Each structure stands twice: as structure tokens, then as C-alpha cells.
Amino acid sequence: MKTDVLIIGAGPSGTASAAILKKEGFDVVIVEKTTFPRFVIGESLLPRCMDLLDEAGLLDAIKEQGYKEKHGAKFYRGKDTCEFNFGEQYTKGQTWTWQVPRADFDKVLADEVAKKGVTVLYNSTVENVAFTTNKVTTTVNIKGEEKTITSKYIIDGSGYGRVLPNLLDLNIPSTLPVRSAFFTHIDDTNRAQDIESSRIQVVVLKADVWIWIIPFSNGKTSLGVVGDLSFIDKTKSNEENFRTLLTSNEFLNPRFGKNKFEFEPKIINGYSAGVKQLYGEKYVLTGNSTEFLDPIFSSGVTFALESGVLAAKLVVKELNNEKVDWGKEYSEYILQGVAVFRSYVDRWYDETLQTVFFSNEINSDIKGQICSVLAGYVWDNTNPFIKKHKKMVQTLAKVIEIKKSETA
Ligand SMILES: Cc1cc2nc3c(=O)[nH]c(=O)nc-3n(C[C@H](O)[C@H](O)[C@H](O)COP(=O)(O)OP(=O)(O)OC[C@H]3O[C@@H](n4cnc5c(N)ncnc54)[C@H](O)[C@@H]3O)c2cc1C
């Protein structure tokens, strides 16, 4: 089998790349290990996703699904709360997005690219890749049978599969501490139909342990706890441990305490990952096969789409014999976004950002600038909270602490 571009994985990064390449007239094959629908975690999108889905020609197909709209994020710590509305952000970007059950969302994207003429091979696993001067030869196990596919370029959108990082020895350990996540979907029969249901809710249990509440339009809600999970009693089942977590929390118990889980709660340990390089001769890594930091700011799908779209546009240039500076045009750009989110993840877990959020001392201009980070517009260097991402939050937290000590 022969194609212009082979893509590994039919997640958001792979399908976004496929849609762009197809639009530009290239022949594309996606090799996908599973059959769809398949479960994957990562359900709360950021407004920046809307621009990218639109650019890939995939927005209308998603609009038709009637997913739960997400207009902001609300953080809770004890009696303190802090709310961000995307409509009040600094960057002139999208003001809302969706919260999506990924099994469903990813299938819609994959079906849509198939409709556009992309070949999607399900139940097919990339096992090996060989690079020669003119072509890439990929060994694929298609429903138990070994076949080779030759292509001019290969894009790795294999997410947690990390196919090229594994085959080409590109993995490096993440510099973030090892954290875990414990999650399920639950019936949400007690959901209030107010503004709260159009937010992601983040509930702080301890400095480094927090819960996500992500409501869907199908009456279920995704619940997950992230961080140090040493509270889990290993003599009990995941279901018993999750039930105890819900019933012992006064915020969660009234809404979820007695409700039915859709599946046995799952645990992922050590989800963060890093990589030595994002591209090489005839290949590029996108989405989670590159860096994945942490779920706290729901940035994963946004990065998957951003990198999937950009990588495909640069592959188009290269296949059209135009010069591409992959270091500058791809790596530097993607890693700038990663660095911004990395600062906010670090400041979340060392509590600096929590000090800022829960102080109720931030004016609306600053709030709008932080809100743009939470909306995924992390390449807008006119935003001081992006341009000076390493310093701004810390400086603000110090000012808040000084003010507090003066009024104490
Ligand atoms: C606990 C947790 C919570 C998260 N919450 C959020 C959130 O709220 N919002 C958010 O945006 N992100 C979130 N994320 C991140 C999100 O899960 C990922 O960033 C996102 O799914 C990445 O998309 P992708 O297209 O790169 O990969 P995926 O969606 O993982 O798709 C990769 C595809 O490649 C296929 N594949 C793997 N190996 C092979 C192979 N050898 N051959 C062929 N195919 C293969 C897989 O079957 C899969 O379908 C969370 C992550 C974690 C760990």
C-alpha cells in the first residue's frame, strides 16, 4: 500500500492533521490500533480548540452533536471560590467551547475525515518504521496480518502509545513529579440547570490533590481526582474507594453520593511524559506523543489540535517543495505553549496560583489576562501573563501576601 502521508492514531491530533492534508489534496492513511468508539480521558476542551477545529473543517460536524457548552471554569477551596468566564478574557478569541465524552467526540472526528476521503484503518497497529532517502516504510499489523505501507512522510499522533518516541528512542522522563488520576463517569441526576453546569468545576481537596467535575449533555458527568492518591485503601475496590471519596466530601456528596457509576473507576499513574525532539527527517510528533504535562488546565486536546494542524500545514509546505524551518516554525512554537502551561501547572501545585485565585484581590484586567491562558490562547505575547509567564503569577501572589499581612 502507498500513500502521501501516513498518520499514526485517529485521536484529535491525527484527525486534525488528516483533515488539513486532505483539504490540500494529499492522499492520507490513518492507522488506528483500536476500533472506535474507544474510551480515552480528556473531556474538557478550551475555546482555542474551536479555531483549530474550524481551520481543519471539522467544527460543523462537532456542532451537530449538541455537546454540553462550556463557558468558563470555577475553582473551589473550602468556602472560597474563583470563577473565570471565557467571555471576559483579554485575547480576542473564542468565548466558549464544549465538554465531550471522548469516545463519541473522537469517533465523530474520525468518521468526518473518512467522509472527506481519508482512509482510516482500524484494528491496525504500527509496529515498525524504516526511513530511507525517499520514503518511509511502515510495518503495520492489520487485523492480525503484517503489511507494509510506504509514504513520503509520517505523522505520529499516537498519544499515550508514543509509537515513534519508543521506536526512535526519543522518550525522556518528565521533569514534573509523578502524579496519578482516578476517574469515572457518573449519573448526574441532581445537576442544577444553572450557569454552574456550563463550567468545568475544580475542587481543591489538598494543595496537590484536586477533583474535576465535567458535565456532559448525555446526563452523565466525568469526575476525577488528581495528585497524590495515597488515600486509596488498597484492600478495597476502585468503586468502594471512589464512593468513599464522594460521600466523605460535603461538596460532592449531595450531588453524587448515591449516584451510579457508568464504569468501574480507573486509575492512571504517572501520566506526564517528555520527548527529546519533536521532529526529524520525514517525521513529526504531535499531540500527546510529544509532551504531556498535567490535566489541571485541560490543555491536552488543545495541544493535540494545535500541533496536529500546524504539523500538517508544514508537511504540506515540504511536500510542495517549499523550505520549512521545523525548529523555528514547529518546535519553538509548540514548546512556547508548553512552557507557558508548564509555568501555570508548577504554580498551581506550589499553591502560588491558588493564592492568587482564592484571594479575590485580582482586578478585572488581570483576571482577563489569566483567563486567556485558561482559554488556551498561550501564544498571545501581548498578554503579560504569557510574555512573562515565569514571573507574573509569582509577583502577583507576593503583592497579595503583602497586602494580606498589612491588613492582618
Ligand atoms: C487524567 C487525565 C485527564 C485529562 N483531562 C483532559 C481534559 O480535561 N482536557 C484535555 O484537553 N485534555 C485532557 N487530558 C489530555 C488528553 O487525554 C490528551 O492530551 C489527548 O487525548 C491527546 O490526544 P492525541 O490525539 O494526541 O492522542 P489520543 O487521543 O490518545 O489518540 C491516540 C490514538 O493513537 C492510537 N494508537 C496508539 N498506539 C498506536 C499504534 N501503535 N498504532 C496505531 N494506533 C495507535 C490510540 O489507539 C489512540 O486512538 C487528560 C489527560 C489525563 C491523563
- Which numbered atom of ligand 1 lies nearest the CA of 303? 19
CA gap 368, 370 in Å, rounded? 6
Q: Can you list the alpha helix ranges (DSSP code H) found in 320-351?
A: 326, 333-349
> Which backbone phi and psi does 322 adopt, to 5 degrees?
-95, 155
Ligand 1 within 6 A of CB of 376: no
C-alpha of residue 313 to centroid of ligand 1, in Å: 21
C-alpha of residue 152 to centroid of ligand 1, in Å: 25
C-alpha of residue 143 to centroid of ligand 1, in Å: 22
Quick: pLDDT tens for 51-81: 999 999 999 999 999 999 999 999 999 999 9
- The edge-to-edge listing of strands for the beta sheet with 220-227 is 80-85, 72-77, 199-206, 209-215, 220-227, 180-187, 266-269
Residues 220/302, Cβ–Cβ less than 8 Å: no
Candidates 107, 120, 158: which one to mutate for ligand 1, based on the most atoms within 8 Å of Cβ? Answer: 158
What is the pTM (predicted TM-score) of this model? 0.97
Using the predicted structure, report yes or no on whether residue 407 has a pLDDT greater than 90. Answer: no
Residues 17/308, Cβ–Cβ less than 8 Å: yes
> Which residue's CA lies nearest to atom 33 of ligand 1?
9
C-alpha of residue 328 to centroid of ligand 1, in Å: 25
Ligand 1 within 6 A of CB of 165: no
The arithmetic mean of pLDDT across residues 198-205, rounded, is: 95
Domains of the chain: 5-67+99-173+272-339 (3.50.50.60), 180-269 (3.30.9.100), 347-407 (no CATH)
Quick: pLDDT tens for 147-170: 999 999 999 999 999 999 999 999
Ligand 1 within 6 A of CB of 227: no
Quick: pLDDT tens for 322-351: 999 999 999 999 999 999 999 999 999 999
Quick: pLDDT tens for 233-252: 999 999 999 999 999 999 99
C-alpha of residue 41 to centroid of ligand 1, in Å: 7
Q: How far is CA 95 from the centre of its chain?
A: 18
Ligand 1 within 6 A of CB of 333: no
What local confidence, expressed as pLDDT, does residue 192 receive? 85
Residue type, 229: L
CA gap 245, 239 in Å, rounded? 10
C-alpha of residue 303 to centroid of ligand 1, in Å: 11
Around Cβ 13, how many Cβ atoms within 10 Å? 33
